[in-house]
Structure 1
C-alpha cells in the first residue's frame, strides 16, 4: 500500500491548540523498537527531510497560520532547523553610529519547553508533572513536536489579543488572503508540499470559524478547488467551548458580549456556506452543547473532569477525537482513502457531517467487551458537534474504536458462563462485535467499524484530567491509583443523519434574527445584504438534504 500523503492546514489560535495536541499525540505513538510494528502509516501526515546539519528529520506535513505574538517563544521558522543567521558586523554596509537598533523582548518559554530544550533524555521530561493549566497561554507552550521552517505562517498585520484592532470579521480574513504573503508565498508552500508527494490524496483543514480566520480558510478552500479539484478536502471548523466575553459582570459588558456573539454567528454562517460550496465534507467540532449564540454548557465525558474555559483542556478532547476518527485512512493495511470517507458521508449533497466521542471508552478491569456492551446504558458516544445530537436510526456512520485488544473481546469457551447465551458471543473480532451492537441498537443505519489495537497515548503534555480510579492503561478500577493513565481506549464516530438538518435549521433561525445593516465591518469589507441573504438561503437549502425522504 502506498503512502497516500495528506497535507494538513491549520487556521487560527484554537485550531492550533487542537493541532498541537494532535501532533503531540501522534509523536507519542511513534514506535522505535524493531519488534513493535505500528498499525499506523505515519508517512501519511509526516514527511522525511534533512536539516542543514545533515540530520534526518521527520516533521508534520503541515501549514499553520496564526497572528503576530500568537507563537510566544516559538520562532516563526521553528527550532528544528535552527534560527535565522544574522550577517556579521563586517558584512554590513551601513554606518553603525547612524543606525538605531531596537530589540523586542523575547517571551519566556514555559518550564516544559525549557526542560525539553535542555534534556539529554526526553523520556524524563515526558514523565514529569507540570502546571500546564497555569503556564499555557498559547499553543506553543506545550508543543512537543518540531516543525519544518515553512510550517508556521504569521499574519503580521494583526496582533493576537489586541482589542483595538481585532481580527474578528469574515471579510478581514478574505482581505488578508489577497495579500502577497498568502496569495503567492502561502500557495507556493502548498505547491511545494504537494509536489514532494508520490501519491497525494488530499487535505485536512482545521480552522477557526467564528473570527476572521473563517474568511481566510474560505478563500484557501476556493484556491484548493481551483488548483486541486480532483483532491479531497476534509474541513473541521472548530468553535471554542468558552469565550472570555461570556463572563460579563456589568450591563455594558453584557451588551458587548451579545454584539460579539452576533459577529461570531455571522462569521460561522458565512463560513459554513463556503465550506459547503468548496470542501468535500465539513464536520463542525465543539465540546460545548450549543456552540453558537454562546457555546452553552460543556458536554460531560465518562471519568473526565475538564475545565471548558481552558483551551488547553477542551482542545485535547477534540484532538483525541480527530486522531481517532481519521485512523481508518491512515492505517498501513487499509485500502480506504480520504476520498472514500468523503463519498460515504456526503450522499445526496450532505456536505456536513457530525462527530461523536466516548472519551475514554473505559471498561472495568477484568471485564470483557461483550459484557461491557451488554450492560451499557444509553448511547455509546456523545456528540462533539455544536447544537447537534447523534441519531439512533437512519444513520450513515464510520466508527473507530482503539485500545481494546482482541483478548478483551470475550471469555474462553470453557469459562464463558452467561456470555455464551448472548448472540454477540459468536463474534470473533472487536469490529465484528461493535458492528453487531449497532445493528441491534439502531434502525436502518449503515455502520462501518474500524478497530485499532493501539490505545491513545496520554502522557505529558496531555492534560491530567482523568478519574483517579483509572489505571495506567485506562481501565476503571474500584480504588484510587497511584499511577496516572499513560494510554486510554477511545471510541469516536462520524455520522450523517436528520439531526444535522436540525442543527442547520437552528443556525439559520438564529442568524436570520440579526440585523445585518448594523454591522458595518461586514459591509465595508464587501459583503452586501443580498450576499448575506443568499448565504442564509443556501444554508436552508442544505438543511433540506437531511430530510429522511432523501436518504435510505
Structure 2
C-alpha cells in the first residue's frame, strides 16, 4: 500500500499559527517504545532524515511562507541540522576602514523556548509558562523542529509594517511570478515529492484575507498543472480579529472599514481561485461571520478562550484539522485523500463546511450509549464562516476520537434501561455513532471514522479548557486541581456538503458585489481590472448554484 505521503504547504502568519499547533499536537502524541503500532501513520505527514553527523530526524514534510520579521528567535534554516553562524564568525574579507558595524540586540527567547534548549527538561507539563502573554509570533510556541528547507521568508515585505503591506490578492500572484520565488519554491516542492514512494497530494493552509491568498492560489495552480493527478485539499483560514480593530480615532476607524472591504475582495478572489484549481476547500473561522467583520465568537461547551489571541483561536482550528484528516492517516485504512475529495466534491461542489465539538462532552464514569441518549442539540457546530449546518440533505463525514470501546455500554447483566434502547445492539463506537447520526440527519449520506486515541493537548497547547475538564478530557462533577493540566480530550469533527455551503458562498458573493473595485487603487495598481472581478463574481454565483437542494443527493 505504501506510505501515502502528503506534502503540507502553509501561506501566511495566521496559517502558520494553525500549522504550529497542528505539528505540535502530532509530535506530543508520538508513542515511543510502544508495544503495538500506533493507530496513526505519522509517516504520511512527517519524513525521516538524518543530519550530517548521522543523527536520525523526523520532521514535517512541510514548506511554509511568511514575511520578514515573523520568526523572531527561530533561524530561517532552523536549528536541527546546523546552528547559524554568529556575525563575528563570518569572514567577509572587507577592509575594516571601509565598513561600519551596527549591532542589533538579539531577540530574547521566552521561557518555553529556553526550556526546549535544555536537554534536562523532558516533562513540560510540570513547568509553568505564560504563553498567553509571551506569544507574539507562531515560532514562540513552536515545539516541533523543521528541516532547513521548510521556512521560506518573503524579504520584500516586513511583518506588521504599516508602510508597506502585503495585503491585496494581486500582490501575492505577482510575488509568485517573480523568478526567484517561483523557481526556488517549485524546486523545494519537487525535492520533497521525489523523496516519496506513494505521494498522494497536498494539504494547503492559507490566509484567505490578504496577499497570501494570491500567492497560495498561484502555487495551487502550479501544482495542479505539474501534478494534475494528485489531490489538493485547501484550508482558507480567516482570523477572528484583526489588529486594526483596536482603533481610537475616527480616522483609524475609517481606515479599518476600508481594510474590511479589501479583505472581502481578497476572499472573493481567493474562493474563486480555489474553486477552479483545488480538489476541495474548507473555509475556517472561529467567528460566525468571517467576511467584512468576523463577528461574534463561537462558543464551545467547556472551552474558555480569548478570540483576540491567535494563539487560542488557531489551536481550535488546528484541532479540527488534525481530527478530520485522520480518516486517511490511519494505519488500518487504505482510504486516500483523493477518496475524501471525490466523496464531497461531486457535481462541482468544491467547497465544504467544517464542524467541531471540542472537547466532546463525555462524563467521567458514563457510557457512550447514555452520552448520546442524553445529548441535546447537534453534536458539533460549524467553524465555517456564515454557515449554519443543517440536519438534512447532506454529504458528510464525521471523525470521533478519544472514546474507548470498553465504555460503549454496560454488560447485559448490569445494563438496566440501556438494554431497552435500540443502540444497545451496537457492538462498537463506530456502529453506535453511525446509528445516532442516521436517526438525526435526514436524507443524508454519512460516513463515520472512530479513533481510540484522543487529541493531545499537552504543553504548548493553550489552557483553554474549563476546570471541569479532567486530565483525560472527561467531564467531572468537581473542578480538577489547579496544578493538573489537561493532556488529551475526546474530539468530534465533521466535513459537510449541502445547501448550507451554498448559503455561505452566496453571502460572500452578496458582500463582494457591493464593492466598487476602481475605488481601491491597491488592486487597480496591482493589475486587477473591473471585468476580471466581475467574472470572479459570476463564477462565485455559479458555484453557489451547485448547492441547490433539488439537485442534491
Q: TM-score, normalised by structure 1?
A: 0.98
Cα distance in 1 for partners of 2:164, 2:85 equals 32
Matched, 1:60 2:60: yes
Equivalence for 1:330: 329
Sort the Cα spacing of 1:420 and 1:196 in 2 relative to 1 into closer, same or farther, 3 A. same
What pairs up with 1:146-545 in 2 under 5 angstroms?
Answer: 146-482=145-481, 483-545=484-546
Structure 2 residue runs of 5 or longer lacking an equivalent are none
| Displacement after TM superposition at 1:485 (Å) | 1.4
| Displacement after TM superposition at 1:92 (Å) | 4.9
| Displacement after TM superposition at 1:2 (Å) | 1.6
Sort the Cα spacing of 1:87 and 1:239 in 2 relative to 1 into closer, same or farther, 3 A. closer
Which whole-Å deviations, capped at 9, do the CAs of 1:461-484 have from their partners, x for residues lacking one? 011111101111111111111122
Sort the Cα spacing of 1:492 and 1:89 in 2 relative to 1 into closer, same or farther, 3 A. closer
| Displacement after TM superposition at 1:36 (Å) | 4.4
Cα distance in 1 for partners of 2:281, 2:319 equals 18
Residue pair 1:305, 1:465 contacting (<8 A) in 2 also: yes
Equivalence for 1:132: 131
Sort the Cα spacing of 1:471 and 1:515 in 2 relative to 1 into closer, same or farther, 3 A. same
Equivalent residue pairs, number: 551
Cα distance in 1 for partners of 2:62, 2:122 equals 23
Cα distance in 1 for partners of 2:479, 2:79 equals 40
| Displacement after TM superposition at 1:507 (Å) | 0.5
| Displacement after TM superposition at 1:98 (Å) | 2.3
Cα distance in 1 for partners of 2:7, 2:55 equals 23
Which 10-residue stretch deviates more, 125-134 or 289-298? 125-134
| Displacement after TM superposition at 1:289 (Å) | 0.3
Residue pair 2:458, 2:487 contacting (<8 A) in 1 also: yes
Cα distance in 1 for partners of 2:226, 2:323 equals 29
Give the root-mean-square deviation of aligned CA atoms.
1.4
Cα distance in 2 for partners of 1:297, 1:34 equals 44
| Displacement after TM superposition at 1:96 (Å) | 3.2
Which 10-residue stretch deviates more, 75-84 or 142-151? 75-84
Residue pair 1:348, 1:551 contacting (<8 A) in 2 also: no
| Displacement after TM superposition at 1:297 (Å) | 0.3
Q: TM-score, normalised by structure 2?
A: 0.98
| Displacement after TM superposition at 1:459 (Å) | 1.1
Matched, 1:23 2:28: no
Structure 1 residue runs of 5 or longer lacking an equivalent are none
| Displacement after TM superposition at 1:375 (Å) | 0.8
Which 10-residue stretch deviates more, 32-41 or 372-381? 32-41
Sort the Cα spacing of 1:115 and 1:86 in 2 relative to 1 into closer, same or farther, 3 A. closer
Residue pair 2:389, 2:500 contacting (<8 A) in 1 also: yes
Cα distance in 1 for partners of 2:89, 2:116 equals 33
